[in-house]
Amino acid sequence: MAQKMWSLFNSNQILNYLNQVLENQAPITIWQSSTQQLFQLKGNLTVVDEKKCTVSIAENDFELHDSEGIYFHCEGVDIIFKREKFSYSSLDNSLTFKTPSELMLKEKRRIDRFRFKYQDFKDVTFLYGTKSDEEGEKKPSVTFTLIDLSIAGLGCIGERKQVGPLQEGDEVEIIQISDQELEVKPLQARIRSFQDYDPKEGVHISSNESKHIRLGLEFDQAIDKVQFESVQSIITRTQTKTKGLDIDGFNGLGETEMKRIIRKASEENPVLAAELVEQSEDIDRLRYMTSEMKTIFWTEVNKDLLAQALRVASKELIYSLLSDVTDNIREEFLEELDRPKSLSAISKAQRKICDFIHQREKEGRFVLSAKGYIKYV
């Protein structure tokens, strides 16, 4: 069975990996799809910075086609990336290209993770520190936003100021995951990683350090069946929605597809990419509409504009929007949705849909939040 790969879009982490390859002078294998079975080149990275990379080729036994993308496999750290455009210098037998915006890495985890959107308010609460109850003192607790979960561990997001006293390797006691209390608690775990977290990952715009941190927690023992079933309902609902509609045509983007499109746009037009991220997140709040709000929405929205705007949207959003409509509306909308649009046209349509949403929020007819139903009813 082929090993699963996953995509990395974080620019700082990409540079870290490439610098490892540079420092270790790890061999690089280079090829193009049309000639992969016949020719492969060997080389080494000689330049790595935020804007460009250069690879020195050991021997050039065949001609590279500049009309075709080129693949690189870096041994040692075991990463793969592709560059559509490159320049070749015969003077020093080297290739120069923009620093990759995506790396493919082999998935080391043997257990699938179930992901949640940062905006969905799925929480994890745990105790930390060494205080005891001998003098009535309780361990301090902290609540972070849950973003992925497996039977072996979880990932969560918190503000940098919340993380202050926590360190990698610390033991913690998990007492609640989302709104489901664990059957047996506390669940012992250990902090295994800290990483900067940027909700707009994939958009390369200079800024101060991230205000958020992603924590990786590993359970001391894998969640047993009884405990896992207490949060299984969350996972089941999420899996169904993120899988999307069972259709042949376009039905939204997966997480990796979305980041890839945004990152590619960012290389050519960072402002457009940032607009797409911000507007897509704004429109994604439509997932929180009640049935009554959906009736208003589908009666009043410009469906052609909506179809254009949703060309950069999650499978989960499209699944949610079309789950309560008539077959006729669904079929007509999916036909329009299946027509590709330029990113600039998508952004323009998104702005108009955002204006449509904001106006109804201002009027009090829409309350778009994971907890919005509390205010609405």
Q: For the chain, 377 residues long, give each residue's pLDDT as a single digit of tens.
A: 455 677 888 888 889 999 999 999 989 999 988 776 667 888 999 999 989 999 999 876 667 788 888 999 998 888 999 998 999 888 888 999 999 988 988 765 544 555 555 445 578 888 888 755 455 567 888 888 888 877 778 888 888 887 777 888 899 988 887 765 565 567 889 998 888 776 555 444 444 455 788 898 988 876 655 455 555 555 555 555 656 666 778 889 988 888 889 988 888 898 999 999 999 999 999 988 888 899 999 999 999 999 999 999 998 899 889 888 888 988 999 999 999 999 999 999 999 999 999 999 999 999 887 554 334 33
Which domains occur in the chain, in start order? 5-106 (2.30.110.10), 114-235 (2.40.10.220), 244-376 (1.10.220.30)
Q: How far apart are CA 206 and CA 17, in angstroms?
A: 20
Element (H, E) at 356: helix 343-362
Element (H, E) at 6: strand 5-8
Whether the pTM exceeds 0.85: the reply is: no
- Position 158 scores a pLDDT of 84
Beta strands, E only, 33-183: 41-48, 52-57, 70-74, 79-83, 87-89, 94-98, 103-106, 114-115, 123-127, 141-149, 153-159, 171-177, 180-181
With beta carbons less than 8 A apart as the criterion, state whether 43 and 55 touch.
Answer: yes
Q: Which residues of 164-183 are buried (b: 16+ CB within 10 A; e: fewer)?
A: eebeeebebbbbbbbeeebe
**For 184-232, what is each residue's pLDDT tens digit?**
567 889 998 888 776 555 444 444 455 788 898 988 876 655 455 555 5
Sequence-distant (6+) residues with CB within 8 A of 164 are none
**For 27-66, what is each residue's pLDDT tens digit?**
999 998 877 666 788 899 999 998 999 999 987 666 778 8
